[in-house]
């Protein structure tokens, strides 16, 4: 079935007559009448009743009308998308990232976009799925380990893993605590697949430190809620909630951190647009987490360091 015939059909419906439709589509009236009969022949349906110089939709025509409109609309969308691909433009963009990064970094970043930016879709992914997602539809992936070498990438930020405490906790007036001090407190930890937990476990293993009392919870929000209820210290990397105060965790001469990286396919059809979005995300992280952002470089460095965090008004995200 030719889209041209469907467009003629819709023109007649919208104009109310073949004469009016012929003016809309710039086709001679006799030719347009023949095209309508050809469409009816191909469909095996009578779409119009003809009489007194006007056409009226039959029952079959009324049922076929929304189908025709959808087909033509989809064809127009496909044509627009193809034109955008040819010119290296993007009308939509898909970003994949971990859940906490989605909530605390990506969603606030999207709130700064304007009408000229592509329409975003964000997919929450497990760590092992983030970078492979650029091979299955994601335009930009934000992960917490250095991306594989075949992807273009940009380091975004090194965000501290916080020990969140109540204002009446002995640590409330401190900027940081040593890793081994965590062993003396009841801790609320996320599952081992979460990035803040992985960063903590790696630091503990490197320091040869064992924890004392721990309770595993499902989400960062629950961890902070339980900490706010006085049941322990929440070890997470997201922004503060429930009036809790963030205390950084010292690891040797640095901090326990979660590092964020942006990655995308170097052969992406709109690689300049994707790269620009990655740099804008880096700048956004610099403004939102000024003490935790790393400078862009051609490839991420897994040993990037962070400056001590002085502003207690900021949390982190990963």
CATH code, domain carrying 9: 1.10.10.10
**237 and 208 belong to one structural domain:** yes
Structural domains in the chain (count): 3
Least Cα distance to 188 among 152, 242, 143 occurs for 242
Least Cα distance to 211 among 249, 246, 180 occurs for 180
pTM comes to 0.58
pLDDT tens per residue across span 43-69: 998 998 877 667 889 999 899 999 999
Mean pLDDT along residues 237-244: 90
**136 and 274 belong to one structural domain:** yes
pLDDT tens per residue across span 89-118: 667 889 999 887 888 889 999 999 999 888
Least Cα distance to 299 among 158, 157, 159, 152 occurs for 152
**50 and 97 belong to one structural domain:** no
Sign of the alpha-carbon torsion through 286, 172, 101, 112: negative
Mean pLDDT along residues 148-158: 91
Domain-located, residue 69:
yes
Q: In whole angstroms, how far apart are CA 274 and each of 122, 139, 197, 207, 280?
A: 14, 7, 30, 39, 10
**80 and 129 belong to one structural domain:** no
Domain-located, residue 250:
yes
Helices H / strands E in the chain, number of each:
10, 14
Domain extent, residue 183, equals 162-255
The CA dihedral of 208, 144, 99, 272, to the nearest 10 degrees, is 170
Q: In whole angstroms, how far apart are CA 272 and each of 32, 87, 148, 260, 265?
A: 45, 11, 20, 21, 11
């Amino acid at each position: 079935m030719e889209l041209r015939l469907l467009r003629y059909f819709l023109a007649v419906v919208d104009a109310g007559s073949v004469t009016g439709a012929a003016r809309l589509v710039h086709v001679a009236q006799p030719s347009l009448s023949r095209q309508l009969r050809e469409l009816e022949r191909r469909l095996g349906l009578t779409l119009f009743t003809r009489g007194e110089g006007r056409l009226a939709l039959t029952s079959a025509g009324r049922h076929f009308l929304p189908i025709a409109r959808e087909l033509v609309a989809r064809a127009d969308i496909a044509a627009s998308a193809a034109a955008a691909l040819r010119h290296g433009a993007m009308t939509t963009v898909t970003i994949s990232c971990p859940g906490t990064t989605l909530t605390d970094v990506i969603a606030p970043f999207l709130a700064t976009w304007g009408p000229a930016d592509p329409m975003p879709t964000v997919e929450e992914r497990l760590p092992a799925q983030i970078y492979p997602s650029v091979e299955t539809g994601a335009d930009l992936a934000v992960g917490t380990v250095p991306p594989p070498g075949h992807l273009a990438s940009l380091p975004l930020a090194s965000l501290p893993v916080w020990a969140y405490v109540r204002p009446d906790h002995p640590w409330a007036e401190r900027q940081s605590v040593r890793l081994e001090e965590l062993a003396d407190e009841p801790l609320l930890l996320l599952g081992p697949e979460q990035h803040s937990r992985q960063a903590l476990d790696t630091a503990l293993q490197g320091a040869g430190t064992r924890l004392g009392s721990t309770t595993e919870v499902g989400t960062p929000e629950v961890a902070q809620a339980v900490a706010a209820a006085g049941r322990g210290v929440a070890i997470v990397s997201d922004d503060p909630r429930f009036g809790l105060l963030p205390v950084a965790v010292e690891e040797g001469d640095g901090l326990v951190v979660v590092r964020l990286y942006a990655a995308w396919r170097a052969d992406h059809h709109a690689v300049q647009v994707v790269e620009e979005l990655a740099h804008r995300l880096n700048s956004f992280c610099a403004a939102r987490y000024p003490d935790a952002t790393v400078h862009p470089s051609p490839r991420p460095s897994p040993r990037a360091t962070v400056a001590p965090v002085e502003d207690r008004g900021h949390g982190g995200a990963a």
